[in-house]
């Protein structure tokens, strides 16, 4: 299986268009690398590809990836589907961008599917542009893609609803999922979870069984945004467990007896890890993912 990281930034990207924080300015002046929104693509053989999430800059991500270059037909793409890990705007707006492509298979949990039908009616808006086929996926129930070459098991990663449905969305345990993605030929697997609300025994066991992992690196500290005066919301209120601290993701991951190489994705532009000469210690085996990284699993 091929697994490609197309982008690694949290909502807003890096730099964010209206932000003049030190990090965004450093990305603008080229002293640190720019990052597109978090997104990944997977493929059994490189022949056809499935995206994980559809961020606003998906077209630019596809243009930057030779694996996804269109052709040889005039309007031919290798892209076949999109698996959504939640209904957040920065993971779904790209479906509107992909409207030129018909026959995309979209995989989403029931509450995400319903939200993209009612509150943010992407499927209705696209009806006259593209034929998208929707499949409902469930936590702990594996589904296959590419004729069974790859099997994917969603697991609960959080229950935070997108802000646009905070008042109207129904309670569900399947608002935010992570994915255990297994190549059925090699038996190896990738964990992809760009939003982790809290450490859990489920996450621990999926991590222990993975060959490589890409997990939530959104915030370094709980109060990062309020300290910068950007927003009052804490990391937890945004649906992300911070990386640092005693209950932080790094300590939890480090406590595992057996862990795969862990790469952080979905990094917010406020996260000091993005700065050069940052003072945020990352233990061996945990590192920042980079846009464009391609691995063979």
**Contact set with Zn ion (CB under 5 A):** 19, 21, 24, 269
Residue 57 and residue 63 in contact, taking contact as beta carbons nearer than 8 Å: no
The residue (of 30 and 187) whose beta carbon lies closer to Zn ion is: 30
The residue (of 23 and 94) whose beta carbon lies closer to Zn ion is: 23
**Closest CB 225 distance from Zn ion, rounded Å:** 10
The residue (of 13 and 55) whose beta carbon lies closer to Zn ion is: 13
- Can you tell me whether residue 265 is helix, strand or coil? strand
Q: CA-based angle 123:129:134, to the nearest 5? A: 35
The H or E element spanning position 254 is helix 249-254
**Closest CB 18 distance from Zn ion, rounded Å:** 9
**Closest CB 33 distance from Zn ion, rounded Å:** 14
**Closest CB 15 distance from Zn ion, rounded Å:** 6
Backbone angles phi, psi at 167, to 5 degrees: -85, -25
On the 0-12 / 13-18 / 19+ scale of CB atoms within 10 A, 72 is exposed
In sequence order, what are the residues at sequence separation of 6 or more whose Cβ sits closer than 8 angstroms to the Cβ of residue 13? 7, 34, 35, 36, 37, 56, 57, 269
The residue (of 211 and 268) whose beta carbon lies closer to Zn ion is: 268
Residue 169 and residue 156 in contact, taking contact as beta carbons nearer than 8 Å: no
**Closest CB 27 distance from Zn ion, rounded Å:** 8
The residue (of 29 and 76) whose beta carbon lies closer to Zn ion is: 29
């Amino acid at each position: 299986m091929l697994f490609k990281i197309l982008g690694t930034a949290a909502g807003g990207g890096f730099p964010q268009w209206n932000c003049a924080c030190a990090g965004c300015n450093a990305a603008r002046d080229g002293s640190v690398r720019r990052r597109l929104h978090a997104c990944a693509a997977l493929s059994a053989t490189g022949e056809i590809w499935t995206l994980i999430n559809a961020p606003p800059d998906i077209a630019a991500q596809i243009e930057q990836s030779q694996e996804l270059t269109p052709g040889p037909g005039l309007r031919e793409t290798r892209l076949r589907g999109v698996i959504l890990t939640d209904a957040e705007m920065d993971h779904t707006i790209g479906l509107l961008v992909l409207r030129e492509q018909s026959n995309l298979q979209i995989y989403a949990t029931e509450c995400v599917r319903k939200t993209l039908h009612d509150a943010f009616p992407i499927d209705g808006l696209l009806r006259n542009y593209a034929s998208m086929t929707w499949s409902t996926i469930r936590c702990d129930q594996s589904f296959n893609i590419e004729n069974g070459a790859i099997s994917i098991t969603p697991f609960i990663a959080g229950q935070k609803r997108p802000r646009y449905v905070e008042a109207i969305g129904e309670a569900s345990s399947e608002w935010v999922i992570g994915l255990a993605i297994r190549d059925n030929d090699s038996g190896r697997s990738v964990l992809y979870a760009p939003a982790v609300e809290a450490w859990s025994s489920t996450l621990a066991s999926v991590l222990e069984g993975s060959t490589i992992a890409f997990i939530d690196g959104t915030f370094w500290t709980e109060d990062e945004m309020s300290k910068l005066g950007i927003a009052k919301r804490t990391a937890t209120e945004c649906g992300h467990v911070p990386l640092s601290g005693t209950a932080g993701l790094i300590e939890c991951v480090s406590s595992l007896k057996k862990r795969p190489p862990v790469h952080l994705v979905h990094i917010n532009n406020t996260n000091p890890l993005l700065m050069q000469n940052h003072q945020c210690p990352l233990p061996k085996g945990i590192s920042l993912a980079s846009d464009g990284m391609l691995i063979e699993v």
